[in-house]
Every structure is written in structure tokens, then in C-alpha cells.
């Protein structure tokens, strides 16, 4: 009987934690919140260790934006299942960013509708705890 009660209390605490932190209680994935977008930054498995240790992402080249910044892929209706290319190798960081700092890629091509850049003033983008960063390394077995 005590084990059943403990299981119910533990499950309820897990659901409460997930709701408080904007996570799907069954998968642990981020859920989009009002005024923010869940985004991904793709990188290599080797660079992932450096990013995790420093909590900083180096900026990309100008490439169509007219300024250096950090590139992200995302969607306002992101549900954690979009692959955004590069899904069988490499690594990515998933986090929640405010819509106010996301600058959409200016292209008429629909393939670029989910690309964003954050203007970090030419310096590194700093990952803060409010971004709720989650780190993934994709494995390829073939």
C-alpha cells in the first residue's frame, strides 16, 4: 500500500515539475510558451562539448542577414518532432528563446521560413538558464 501511495505522490510531483517548467511530462521536451519559440542550433558532436562547458555559441558569418549572429531553426508551433534537416548525424541544442530577439531569414523561398538569427553584437550568444537548453547528439548507425 505504501509503495502505491509513494508512486502516486511521485507521479504527481513529476507532472507538477513538468508543468511548472514548460515540459511535456511524458517526453521531457520543451513546449512553446506565449511570446517564445522553441528553436534548435545545429552543431557537430565535437563542438557540443565546448558549448556545454562554456554555455556560449560562436556567431555565424553574415550570409544574407547583413550582420554576424547565431543561427537557429524553429517554428512557433514547434512540437519536438520536426527534424529541420541534419537529423541523422551531428548534434543540436534545443532551447526556448523570446520572439523579440529572433530575426527571420529574409528569403522568398519557403524552405527558409523556419530560419532565424539572433544578433549577439558580433560576440558569442550566451545560453542562460531561462533558455532551458537541452543537448542532443544524433547517432547514425549506417
Q: How many CB atoms lie within 10 A of CB 94?
A: 20
Q: Which residue in 40, 31, 4, 65 sits closest to 127, CA to CA?
A: 40
Per-domain residue ranges of the chain = 1-31, 32-137
117 forms bridges with which residues in the sheet?
71, 103
Which residue is associated with the grid cell 554576424? 68
Per-residue pLDDT of the chain (142 residues; tens, 9 = 90+): 555 555 565 666 767 776 667 777 777 777 777 888 888 888 888 888 899 999 999 888 776 677 788 888 876 555 555 554 544 567 888 898 998 998 887 665 666 667 888 888 888 999 999 898 988 887 554 4
Amino acid at each position: 500500500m505504501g509503495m502505491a501511495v509513494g508512486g502516486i505522490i511521485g507521479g504527481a510531483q513529476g507532472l507538477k515539475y513538468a508543468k511548472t517548467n514548460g515540459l511535456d511530462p511524458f517526453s521531457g521536451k520543451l513546449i512553446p510558451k506565449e511570446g517564445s519559440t522553441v528553436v534548435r542550433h545545429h552543431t557537430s558532436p565535437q563542438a557540443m562539448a565546448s558549448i556545454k562547458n562554456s554555455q556560449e555559441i560562436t556567431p555565424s558569418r553574415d550570409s544574407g542577414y547583413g550582420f554576424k549572429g547565431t543561427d537557429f531553426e524553429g517554428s512557433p508551433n514547434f512540437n519536438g518532432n520536426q527534424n529541420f534537416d541534419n537529423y541523422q548525424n551531428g548534434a543540436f541544442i534545443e532551447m526556448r528563446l523570446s520572439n523579440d530577439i529572433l530575426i527571420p531569414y529574409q528569403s522568398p523561398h519557403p524552405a527558409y521560413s523556419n530560419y532565424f538569427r539572433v544578433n549577439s553584437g558580433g560576440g558569442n550568444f550566451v545560453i542562460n538558464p531561462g533558455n532551458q537548453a537541452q543537448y542532443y547528439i544524433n547517432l547514425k548507425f549506417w
